[in-house]
């Protein structure tokens, strides 16, 4: 390889190249040069096609390119290796300023090479290990490779005696929390990020203007309305005590009126797709309040993962969206149109409540939420008591249960609280008993055929 510059031993290897990049290098006054361009075969893009044939996948496995990159990265003491076009500007700036690429930069670039080739090889292994004997692709490969990039170290983890860091997927889905932009406030904590994710995923599920207030990973209030201020008021009224220090998420641009309404309570984090200038000016007086913008989109992670002792549980995301046409009325009484709307609303909320989950609602507003109990009866009682504590009446309300009622006692508690329509998955061996109880109590009940356990 010819010398790139008198003070650089070796050359620059680039993963991809364009005439613009070549012109930039020429404009830097670095000539004549040998520029070795390593453009890895597009394996990931090829296998992203669900109909990709094995022959096409194999053809797009690059052999020489990764070898050249790794060899150059190993010898980074004398070679600057660029695999990310975003690094061109920095490399050119150093060349213009000093005539060389610094050792620190060469080392940083070399590390990126090994991460890049590791991800490339990981994608190949994931694809091949997902093929059965007939070369049919299975959803879960026998060997699973994942790559994440650290966004930040944290002061501590879930508790002060635990350390923590936040990593982002190498290719985060559109609209995911990992794409956040922090406008103001203190550094996000471990619990802030976990709760913010729960709030953002929940609020994204509503087509109308919505507000979700999360506390300890559970919705303590959810409201939908024609505008954000009214949606916030509904969410806050559900449980003002629990809302203190909560995470608030909105699915519309946050305006000054909503900011002023929110400003009356203490919040840890506020999330919206966009925060208008007037709202930002209002929040600026609250220096510790964390305000995030996250692009609104509905893509989901390809996998949900949960670490367990010595292993990893991997599943598809709970992205199921129920349509009204898929619901089955199982009682003599059918819901009214208003009750249908509330049942669908309650079901959306219940999906994001820790199991066992019971949600009371009316007119696009949660009235009481029971979460995370070992007994569904206890969740129902807690949800009813939450409404009572907030001076909210459950008379004429609708209720959702994230899983079936194993006995009629849970349903009786819900009806005793004031619910006149219930939505639940069904599927219990005692469904007939529970349906008979609903008819006896004179309420409407519909089955979804789908549950939403959340642990």
Which residues of 173-260 form beta strands (DSSP E)?
A: 181-184, 210-215, 218-224, 246-250
**Marked catalytic residue, from 74, 111, 135, 388:** 74
Cα 420 to Cα 223, 389, 394, 416, 450: the distances in Å are 20, 21, 9, 10, 21
Q: Which residue has the tokens 């059965």?
A: 132
303-331 exposure pattern, b = at least 16 Cβ within 10 A, e = fewer: beeeeeeeeeeeeeeeeeebeeeebeebb
Query: What is the maximum alpha-carbon separation in the chain?
Result: 91
Cis before 163 (ω within 30):
no
Count Cβ atoms below 10 Å from residue 337 Cβ, excluding itself.
6
For this structure, is 216 an active site residue?
yes
Distance of CA 445 to the CA centre of its chain: 32
- In angstroms, the CA 76 to CA 111 distance is 9
Contact 17, 88 (CB under 8 A): no
Extract the tokens encoding 273: 């797709």
- In angstroms, the CA 303 to CA 300 distance is 8
- In angstroms, the CA 378 to CA 380 distance is 5
β-sheet with 36-37: strand ranges across: 36-37, 12-14, 80-82
3-state secondary structure of 46: helix
- In angstroms, the CA 171 to CA 300 distance is 11
For this structure, is 74 an active site residue?
yes
Determine whether 4 is exposed, middle or buried from the number of CB atoms within 10 Å of its CB (0-12, 13-18, 19+): buried
**Marked catalytic residue, from 21, 186, 216, 333:** 216
> How much is the CA Rg of the chain, to the nearest whole Å?
27
- In angstroms, the CA 321 to CA 298 distance is 12
Count Cβ atoms below 10 Å from residue 218 Cβ, excluding itself.
20
Contact 89, 105 (CB under 8 A): no
Q: Which residues are catalytic?
A: 74, 216
């Amino acid at each position: 390889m010819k010398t790139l510059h008198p003070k650089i031993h070796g050359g620059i290897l680039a993963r991809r190249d364009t005439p613009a990049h070549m012109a930039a290098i020429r404009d830097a006054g670095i000539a004549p040069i040998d520029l070795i361009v390593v453009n890895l075969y597009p394996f990931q893009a090829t296998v992203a096609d669900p109909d990709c044939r094995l022959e096409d996948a194999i053809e797009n496995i690059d052999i020489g390119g990764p070898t050249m990159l790794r060899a150059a990265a190993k010898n980074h003491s004398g070679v600057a290796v660029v695999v990310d076009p975003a690094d061109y500007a920095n490399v050119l700036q150093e060349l213009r300023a000093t005539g060389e690429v610094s050792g620190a930069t060469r080392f940083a670039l070399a590390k990126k090479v090994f991460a890049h080739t590791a991800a490339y090889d990981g994608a190949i292994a994931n694809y091949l290990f997902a093929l059965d004997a007939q070369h049919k692709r299975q959803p879960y490969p026998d060997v699973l490779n994942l790559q994440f990039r650290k966004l930040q170290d944290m002061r501590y983890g879930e508790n002060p005696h635990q350390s923590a860091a936040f990593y982002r997927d190498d290719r985060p889905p559109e609209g995911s929390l990992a794409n956040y932009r922090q406008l103001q406030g203190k550094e996000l904590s471990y619990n802030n990020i976990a709760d913010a994710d729960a709030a953002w995923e929940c609020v994204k599920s509503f087509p109308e203007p919505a507000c979700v207030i999360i506390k300890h990973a559970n919705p303590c209030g959810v409201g939908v309305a024609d505008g954000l201020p009214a949606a916030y008021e509904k969410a806050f009224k559900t449980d003002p005590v629990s809302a203190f220090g909560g995470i608030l998420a909105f699915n519309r641009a946050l305006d000054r009126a909503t900011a002023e309404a929110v400003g009356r309570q203490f919040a840890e984090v506020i999330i919206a797709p966009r925060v208008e200038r007037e709202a930002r000016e209002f929040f600026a007086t609250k220096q510790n309040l964390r305000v995030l913008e996250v692009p609104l989109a509905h893509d989901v992670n390809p996998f949900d993962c949960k670490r367990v002792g010595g292993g990893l549980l991997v599943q598809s995301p709970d992205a199921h969206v129920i349509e009204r046409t898929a619901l089955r009325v199982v009682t003599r009484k059918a819901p009214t149109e208003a009750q249908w709307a509330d049942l669908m609303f309650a079901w959306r909320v219940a999906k994001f409540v820790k199991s066992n989950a019971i949600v009371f609602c009316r007119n696009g507003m949660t009235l009481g939420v029971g979460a995370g109990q070992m007994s569904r009866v206890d969740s129902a009682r807690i949800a009813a008591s939450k409404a009572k504590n907030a001076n909210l009446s459950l008379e004429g309300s609708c209720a959702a249960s994230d899983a079936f009622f194993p006995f009629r006692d849970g349903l009786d508690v819900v009806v005793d609280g004031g619910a006149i329509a219930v939505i639940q998955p069904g599927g219990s061996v005692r469904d007939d008993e529970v349906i008979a109880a609903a008819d006896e109590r004179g309420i409407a009940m519909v089955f979804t055929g789908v549950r939403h356990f959340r642990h």
